[in-house]
Amino acid sequence: MTFVDDFKPQHFRLTAESDTFWRVTFDNPPVNVIGPEMMKDLKDLLTELEGNDTVNVVVFDSADPDFYLAHYDLAADPAIAEALPSPTGYAAWVDITVRISKLAAVTISAIRGIARGAGSEFVLATDIRFASREKAVLGQMEVGFTALPGGGAAGRLPALVGRGRAFEILLGGGDFDGEQAAEYGYVNRAIRDDQFVEFVDAYATRVSKWDHRVLGEIKDFINKYTRLADDEYPLHSDKFWGAAGLPGFQAISRQLFEAGLQTRSPIEYNLGEDIVEIAARNK
């Protein structure tokens, strides 16, 4: 019985395309929020991958063409995720994103649909981001909640998009489609949606055929020169949770839930725009 056969995650599927190429498909209807059960299963997957010296590449995609990972689950009790084991000792979402960024396996986000907030932070923590030109939407709308992103966007974006565009993305909080995200380096490249799956799979299949050792050596050097020190990330998380406890964040969240947050509603599609009016109302 292999890990893949034995592992039964609740909100994503794990598929072994081969011994060296695994696929994780997010599937947490209605909009793929990142909740405590998904986080528990991601932590178990990370523990497996940290001890695995066969898997070369893991592709993270979504069963829902409209939502990649909508954002953090704001309806769940945060204490549930924080009670999970944390090998790094960091808060739950930081533990996951830091550990993803340190795997020996090459991690690829195959982004179709919306990836905002923690969804965007997830893809930023992986090594490579491919986006559907027509269907990908990325954004960090936390600023509209009166919070800075808690999972490290401010730490990871500058190494991808540079200083000026990191400011624009985080201070504006707006949406970036696949093409704009590629122009900024927020994603590696945008691929026409009708060629997207084929492109991603060809790249991952290629990587799956290389020598496992050399992939680790290459990753080690690039990480040495470009990865922020782990202990920066708890500083971001603490600021996020500090803001989340304030009345402003809570009032904005409540009004967003009244407008349909975390249901398959217009507010989830248009959150990047609609949050402005709700934020302004709560100043």
Where do contacts with a second copy occur on this chain (CB under 8 A)? 106, 127-129, 142-144, 146-148, 154-155, 157-168, 170-174, 180, 182-183, 185, 187-189, 203, 206-207, 209-211, 213-215, 217-219, 221-222, 225-228, 232, 235-236, 239, 243, 248, 276, 279-280, 283
Minimum distance of a second copy from residue 80's CB (angstroms): 26
Pairing of strands 128-139, 12-18: unpaired
Residue 28 CB, nearest approach to a second copy (Å): 25
Which residue type occupies 241? Answer: W
**CB of residue 118 vs a second copy: minimum separation in angstroms?**
16
- Residue closer to a second copy by CB (options 34, 148) is 148
* Least gap, CB of 1 to a second copy (angstroms): 25
Task: Name the residue nearer to a second copy (CB basis): 26 or 186.
Answer: 186
For a second copy, the closer CB: 185 or 260: 185
Give least dist CB 152 to a second copy, A. 10
Please state the closest distance from residue 125 (CB atom) to a second copy, in A: 11
Q: Which is nearer to a second copy, 30 or 172 (CB)?
A: 172
Q: In this structure, is the dihedral angle defined by the CA atoms of residues 221, 187, 236 and 105, taken in order, positive or negative?
A: negative
Task: Give the chain's length.
Answer: 283
Select 172 or 260, whichever has its Cβ closest to a second copy: 172
Cα 145 from Cα 242, distance rounded (Å): 12
Please report how close the Cβ of residue 271 comes to a second copy at its closest, in angstroms. 14
Place of tokens 């292999």: 2
Instruction: Determine the angle formed by the axes of helices 36-50 and 92-100, rounding to 10 degrees.
Output: 40
Nearer to a second copy, 89 or 221 (CB): 221
Q: What is the largest CA-CA distance in the chain?
A: 56
Closest C-alpha among 107, 180, 174 to residue 144: 174
If you ran DSSP here, which 8-state letter would residue 227 be given?
A: P
Query: Is residue 57 classed as helix, strand or coil in its secondary structure?
Result: strand
- Alpha helices in the chain, H assignment, sequence order: 3-6, 36-50, 78-82, 92-100, 118-125, 153-156, 158-172, 178-184, 193-208, 212-226, 233-244, 247-258, 266-269, 271-281
- What is the Cα–Cα distance from 76 to 253, expressed in whole angstroms? 12
Pick the closer one to a second copy by CB: 119 or 144: 144
Quote the CA–CA distance of 5 and 137 in Å, as a whole number. Answer: 33
CB of 156 to a second copy, least distance (A): 8
Phi-psi region of 19 (alpha: psi -120 to 50; beta: other; left: phi over 0): alpha
Closer Cβ to a second copy, 99 or 219, answer by number: 219
Q: Considering only CA atoms, which of 144, 174, 168 is closest in space to residue 154?
A: 168
